[in-house]
Structure 1
Amino acid sequence: MSGESRRPTPPSPAVIGIDVATASVRVLCVDGQGRVLAEAQADLPPPVRTATGTSEQDARSWWPAVRSALRRTTGALPRGGREVIAVAVSATSGTIVPTGKDGEPLGPALMYDDRRAADLNAEAQRAGSARWDTLGLSVGPTAALGRAVWCLRTYGSALHHVLHTPEFIGRELTGRPVATDWSHALKSGYDARAGEWAHEVFDALGFPPGLLPSVGAPGTEAGTVGPEAAEATGLPEGCSLRLGMTDGCAGQIATGAVEPGRFVGVIGTTYVLKGVSEHLVRDATGAFYSHRHPDGWWLPGGASNTGGECLADIAPARLPALDAAAAAGGPASYVRYPLCRDGERFPFVSGEARGFELGGPRDEADSHRAALEGVAFLERLALERVERLGIPVLGPLHAAGGGSRSAVWTAIRATVLDRPVRVVERAETAFGAALLAATGTLHEDLAASAAAMVHSGALVEPVPAERPALEESYGRFVVALRGRGWLPDD
């Protein structure tokens, strides 16, 4: 009726993803269609790293940073945060903090790259060798498992819990202890296949598993936001806290690669390949391992020592011009393996691997182009290894990371792989955490969350005219790796 006033449409319900990274906390609020409603960031103190391999951060800095970023995010929402129905936390893989009876830290957090317990991790590897072999895992020098044992031996009876970052934040949000997810628990000795902690390993090391949290599936509810946290953050009291995943896993699902056969290649400082398989596949070389998917599938993946680091000596302002010249010049005149470190860990494992060149560049643009192609060759090797292990790779490769912003690099990757590459918007940890917060709240499951909320970017097709030259260079690259004894013949 003309004289009747219409009520304004209430804002849609929203979810929040929290990423507790090494240098900062990032908070992202999105609606059920993946539209960003508000976001904020807060800095963290840099970890203190020493020449002896220790790496520590003040865990007491985490909650103030999370609280501040949440308060600014909810304050920017139309209803001041009342529209937020769920939140999930993701963090670095393997960072732990020893806490006392009251949940307060007994000392600094031991970061994901802390090596102080390398000897204990070697013991853990021996004690659980049969289990790790079945899972295709190894307990590396920086695994959280050994550091948890170190905490017990250091703090003794004062130690009541060893927490990963999300449970530490979860306790602040809910006012009580919360479970961890099986992704963050992996490097602490959790067997996601059997659904249990590696009891024989903990027995051998004299560590009671009760010092670790209970474990649940990512995306399930861990508790609800309590009154004190609601007052401090602007989140509504009773808001659901959902279990997150590690930063790498959250970044993967943020691309929408959440169903079997879907893979994402991430070019950051190093190259990372992650995907989804229906079954656990063991890689005898140890080049990659699997997390457990929230729906019970598996997330095989590996991280190379090669990647965007090969461009680190180039001023960022110069990259667009070099990219343009590399595109205009076409395939490189020589082959380059742009490894900047000693040793490779994926798609093959070799402590002896070193970067090399087969020939030399015509000019700087040719050298730049060869570096981009070299990373693309590593990516093809990685996908071929996955397929040889019986894991299908379907459809376009999803692309994320800083390298995916380069149009010429993406086109090179598509051509080398002979498959389309889809560049994905918002392929970041906080958005992946938001997808997990939406699972079971805004949407039925993770696949439904991804279908509704992930916005795919450009689909980049192979360049047919460049394929013969790149195929020939790739063949030379593989022969050179095998000739040096770094790449197995399988």
Structure 2
Amino acid sequence: MSTYIGIDAGTSMVKAAAFDERGRTLRVESRPVSLDLHDGRAEQDMDEVFGAVSEVLSALTGAVGGPVALIGLTGQGDGVWLVDGEGRPVRSAISWMDGRAHELLDAWHSSGVVESVFRRTGSAMFPGCPGPVLAWLDRHEPAALDAAASAVYCKDMVFQRLTGVRATDVSDASMPFLDPRERAYSGEVLESLGLARRRGLLPRISDPVAVAEVTAEGTGALGARIANGPYDLPACALGAGVTAPGDGLLIVGTCLAALVAVDALALDGEPAGLHISTDRAGHWLRAMPAMVGTAALDWVLAITGVAHTEVDGLLDAAPPGAHGVRVLPYFAPSGERAPFVEPRLRAELTGVSLESSRADLIRATCEGIAFAARHCLSAAGLSGTLAICGGGTRSSAWTRLFADVLGRPLRIVEGEVGARGAVLAAAERYGVGLDTAGWTAPTAVVEPDPGRADFYAKAYDDHLERLAAARARARAV
């Protein structure tokens, strides 16, 4: 029996999953990785990330035995991972959660640069994306850029360390330098960001995705075929079977990502989100990857001393509306990036009294995140079916709440969806025929409750009004 392995190098966890030919999960190995957060900055140790990849891959191949048919690779997007010619770190990786470039981005907003880049690429920059981060480094740490051979993304660093091949793909390149019509870096965009002289740092775009054999020892996979697939958001879309125009995916993870498959670029309206190029020309994912997500709930749980195992019970203990408690869940130090860009936006908690309970606070937080999801999906143009995945779906009560707030059925896709999508991308690239429909079939469908859906439709309007007021206050700072 052939084994297919998907690797997902995430922000807080590195995972590897083994699947059989029918897409059934055989085994999963995972290792946590640290994130250094301080003074609005977020950095990661590349050697730690790659070490975690090596560990999970070695453990997985040792446990499943037998031949590995192929390996698909995915990982977190955005940020800047400066490496030398061997793919080794020049400095710590700057994460997509980093906020150090917010003042530079403010200036670009005021001068119209952000809007002009969006009209060209369909991607709205935020502090942690490569454009502002590279420009910040060029101004404050030029020696680091001088010493680097490449400014890559997480999975590209891993791929180079595993195979010796330096390359990225069209999905990672989509933010913010890729012209989505030409599927190539835009010299005009680089010039407008003051980065034309740093163009040599950008890795070659492999279209379709790059393939090679694993050459790194200590991985248990020497000689195995591997593909440097799309990054985690489009990989999850593949793993959830979201490819038909109008269909969407909601990923309830560290960040809250809303994706809708589209066959046309929408470059008008408020610059926000991005158009992720896929392996098919003329096909994109309209993405609204919000900063808000499970990290917001995790913070509230830590502050209140509530365990994850208690969430379902507390959600059931408070009614819709949480007795008037409201949470705008924008806890990220770099503000929000979708479906709008507001670097100084911060979380707000209102309607609390001495009568409020922990259940009210937990439910209000989960409702606020679900309202943010509705905002993102609306802005992305959802018109078809909706799949949902991610760590947040492990809470059945929260998943039902999402269905009620969104007012539509949810196709539940369980397991390591990103790793599954990475395998499917690798199989497509290598010409290996897999039953994609079987691999991506939902495990359940959750229907909304009509009464609660009506309640939340009105509550959503209130959420938008409070959000507009909060954004106005953030701009006034």
Structure 2 length-normalised TM: 0.81
Report the counterpart of residue 234 of structure 2 in structure 1. Answer: 249
Deviation at 1:54, TM superposition (A): 4.7
Bigger shift: residues 257-266 or 365-374: 365-374
Aligned counterpart for 1:161 among listed residues 150, 153, 172: 150
Q: Which amino acid aligns with 1:77?
A: V
**Is residue 197–residue 209 contact of structure 1 (8 Å, CA) maintained in 2?**
no
Where 1:88 maps in the other structure, the secondary structure is strand
Q: Is the 8 A contact 1:439 1:449 kept in 2?
A: no
Bigger mean CA deviation after superposition, 377-386 or 416-425: 377-386
Q: CA deviation at 1:405?
A: 2.6
Cα distance change of structure 1 residues 269 and 157 upon mapping to structure 2, 3 Å threshold: closer
Task: Please give the secondary structure, in 2, of the residue aligned with 1:15.
Answer: strand
* Residue equivalent to 1:60: 47
Are 2:123 and 2:174, in contact at CA under 8 Å, matched by a contact in 1?
no
**Corresponding position of 1:5:** none
In structure 2, do the counterparts of structure 1 residues 364 and 47 end up closer, same or farther at CA, with 3 Å as the change threshold? closer
Whether 1:137 aligns to 2:123 is yes
Q: Quick one: which amino acid aligns to residue 22 of structure 1? A: T
Map 1:277-426; keep pairs closer than 5 Å: 277-282=262-267, 284-296=269-281, 297-304=283-290, 306-308=292-294, 309-310=296-297, 311-312=300-301, 313=304, 314-326=306-318, 329=319, 332-334=322-324, 336-339=326-329, 341=331, 345-348=337-340, 355=348, 357=350, 365=359, 368-386=362-380, 391-395=381-385, 397-426=386-415
| 8 Å CA contact 1:273, 1:301 repeated in 2 | yes
* Residues 294-330 of structure 1: per-residue CA shift (max 9 Å, x gap): 223111122345544245233324323213324xx56
Structure 1 residues 233 and 269: alpha-carbon distance in aligned structure 2, compared to 1, 3 A threshold: closer
User: Does the Cα contact within 8 Å between 1:178 and 1:222 map onto a contact in 2?
Assistant: no
8 Å CA contact 2:400–2:446 kept in 1: the answer is yes
Measure how far apart 1:172 and its partner are: 3.0
Among 12, 20, 30, which residue is 1:31 paired with? 20
Q: How far is 1:453 from its partner?
A: 1.0
Question: d(CA) in 2 for partners of 1:114 and 1:480?
Answer: 26
Residue identity matched to 2:81 = V
Does the CA-based 8 Å contact 2:79-2:133 persist in structure 1?
no
Shift of 1:154: 0.9
SS at 1:177 equivalent: coil
Structure 1 residue 112 corresponds to structure 2 residue 102: no
CA separation of 1:362 and 1:133: change in aligned 2, threshold 3 A: same
The alpha-carbon distance between structure 1 residues 245 and 336, as it changes in their structure 2 partners (threshold 3 A), is: same
Tell me by how many angstroms 1:233 deviates: 2.6
TM-score, structure 1 as length reference: 0.79
Query: Are 1:96 and 1:110, in contact at CA under 8 Å, matched by a contact in 2?
Result: yes
CA spacing shift, 1:124–1:321, aligned 2, 3 Å: closer
Aligned length: 455
Contact 1:96 1:144 in 2 (8 A): yes
For 1:49 and 1:483, how far apart are their aligned partners in 2?
28
User: Any unmatched runs of 5+ in structure 2?
Assistant: none
CA RMSD, 1 decimal = 3.6
- String of CA shifts for 1:52-88, please: whole Å, max 9, x gaps: x554433333443322221211111231xx2x22222
Q: Percent identity?
A: 26
Q: Classify 1:223/1:401 alpha carbon distance in 2 versus 1 (closer, same or farther; 3 Å).
A: closer
Pair 1:71 & 2:58 matched: yes
Change (3 A) 1:156 1:71: closer
Q: Tell me the CA shift for residue 112 of structure 1.
A: 3.0
Greater alpha carbon shift after TM alignment, 261-270 vs 471-480: 471-480
Q: Is the 8 A contact 2:387 2:412 kept in 1?
A: yes
Q: In the alignment, is the contact (CA less than 8 A) between 2:324 and 2:351 conserved in 1?
A: yes
- Report if aligned partners of 1:136, 1:284 keep a CA contact under 8 Å in 2: no
Contact 2:277–2:284 (Cα < 8 Å) also in 1 = yes
Query: Does the aligned pair in 1 maintain the 2:54–2:219 contact within 8 Å?
Result: yes
Structure 1 residue 425: deviation in Å? 0.8
> What SS does the aligned partner of 2:429 have?
coil
Per the TM alignment, residue 436 of structure 1 is displaced from its structure 2 partner at its CA by 2.0
Which structure would you say has the larger Rg?
1
Cα drift, residue 211 of structure 1: 3.0
When structure 1 is superposed on structure 2, of 112-121 and 430-439 the one drifting more is 112-121
* Range that drifts further, 130-139 or 364-373: 364-373
1:97 & 1:269 partners in 2: Cα distance? Answer: 20
**Alignment gaps of 5+ in structure 1:** 1-10
Contact 1:99 1:106 in 2 (8 A): yes
Distance 1:325 1:19, change over 3 A: same
In structure 2, the residue matched to 1:6 is none
Shift of 1:25: 2.6
Distance in 2, Cα, partners of 1:199 & 1:300:
23
Task: Report the Cα offset of residue 181 of structure 1.
Answer: 0.7
Q: Measure how far apart 1:486 and its partner are.
A: 6.1
Q: Provide the C-alpha distance between the structure 2 equivalents of 1:460 and 1:409, rounded to a whole number of angstroms.
A: 11
Cα pair 2:291 2:338 within 8 Å, conserved: yes
Q: Distance in 2 between matches of 1:431 and 1:244?
A: 11
Contact 1:124–1:146 (CA under 8 A) maintained in structure 2:
no
